[in-house]
Amino acid sequence: MWVTSSLATALTPTSVALGNFDGVHRGHQQVIQSMCLASSRPSTSSHSTAGDSNCKRVDRIESSLGSQPESSRLTSEHCSYPTVVTFNPHPQEFFSGQPRTLLTPAGEREELLASLGIAQLVLLPFDRDLAFLSPTDFVEKILVQQLQAQCISVGSDFCFGYQRSGTTADLKAIAATYGIAVTVVPPYTCAGERISSSAIRQALQRGEMQRANQLLGRSYSLIGKVIQGQQLGRKLGFPTANLQVPGEKFLPNQGVYGVRVQSSTLAQEQIGVMNLGYRPTVNGLSQTIEVHLLDWSGDLYGQTLTVILEQFLRPEQKFETLADLKAQISVDCATARSYLAPVS
């Protein structure tokens, strides 16, 4: 997937899914799917070169790609590049001046979008100039002139332009003057609940993993590198991998989780127990993420792990003695195994 923060290097023409897409949850996937379907149809937009459909322009476009990745190039099935257009930083972070944690930090989001067939991710630098663009200027200068959008897909709550004054109705009306079709995808629900990044965050904050994972359409995961810890788990007989995740990663409720663990260094997926918190029994001063693999032992230092959160087992608590902590860890491991181990 081609990733760019510069409109000058964007691959064109495009079919655009427009939004923030933090989480790439089931609702986001509906917006993306709508765009991908439209991207395979020949364009009828009025700003296309007369008598020359997008599909016929593939050869000319490909000759200018140079070192851009083979996976991002147009194919005969697509008449324009399936493109996700989002903002960096998140508009809320820009206006508040406060860092915003993300369900899917940059690398994780890119991997998820690529798996959905996206050819290009355009990260629009959200600055004062962009914030002050009128809805009309946003469509004309960015979507039409720079990205040569052939079709656009957005969620029903999408707003754009100065002070979020542009609605989906405005987007359809402005785009229509250029012959660009806009698909507004209605809210996607699960068990009567609207799927949103906010709802997923709330579920994670409460340790409601089944609900969060159902809304996401996959299990929430933490991806990071194993770093040196205090090795307390090893002394207790439960060696742990101390995971360092990106600072902007949204962390769920503190406590103990049943998890699945994947890594290129592991021959197969492993089940385990993860503790997220401050380790009050040993007077920990900083939050840590520690993972114990139930059926594997070895050196994981420096390795990248994907820890898939399946079940919230209990809140973090302080024990009177290390022996009490060790006994509880044994119970946690047995609980996780009963929940995660495959039925024979």
| Per-residue pLDDT tens digits for 56-65 | 333 333 333 4
Sign of CA dihedral 103, 92, 185, 152: negative
- pLDDT for the residue numbered 184: 97
**Residue 135: CATH number of its domain:** 3.40.50.620
Q: Report the percentage of the chain scoring pLDDT > 70.
A: 86
Q: Can you tell me the mean pLDDT for 139-144?
A: 98
Based on the fold, state whether residues 178 and 247 are members of the same structural domain.
no
Q: What is the pTM of this model?
A: 0.86
Based on the fold, state whether residues 144 and 246 are members of the same structural domain.
no
**Residue 263: CATH number of its domain:** 2.40.30.30
Chosen domain end from 169, 187, 205: 187
Based on the fold, state whether residues 175 and 27 are members of the same structural domain.
yes
Domain assignment present for 238: yes
What CA–CA distance (Å, rounded) separates 209 from 308?
11
Based on the fold, state whether residues 131 and 60 are members of the same structural domain.
yes
Based on the fold, state whether residues 173 and 232 are members of the same structural domain.
no
Based on the fold, state whether residues 164 and 257 are members of the same structural domain.
no
Domain assignment present for 240: yes
Distances 323 to 288, 291, 306, 329, 330 between C-alpha atoms, Å: 21, 19, 30, 10, 11
Based on the fold, state whether residues 88 and 135 are members of the same structural domain.
yes
Backbone angles phi, psi at 228, to 5 degrees: -70, 135
What CA–CA distance (Å, rounded) separates 141 from 131?
13
Backbone angles phi, psi at 3, to 5 degrees: -120, 130
What CA–CA distance (Å, rounded) separates 110 from 99?
20
Listed residue (87, 182, 201, 104) closest to 144, CA to CA: 182
Based on the fold, state whether residues 162 and 230 are members of the same structural domain.
no
**pLDDT(198) > 70:** yes
How many structural domains compose the chain?
Answer: 2
**If you average pLDDT over every residue of the chain, what do you get?**
88
What CA–CA distance (Å, rounded) separates 215 from 26?
7
Domain assignment present for 198: no
Based on the fold, state whether residues 225 and 183 are members of the same structural domain.
no
Which domain covers residue 167, as residue numbers?
Answer: 2-187
Based on the fold, state whether residues 48 and 178 are members of the same structural domain.
yes
The amino acid at residue 240 is T
Domain assignment present for 70: yes
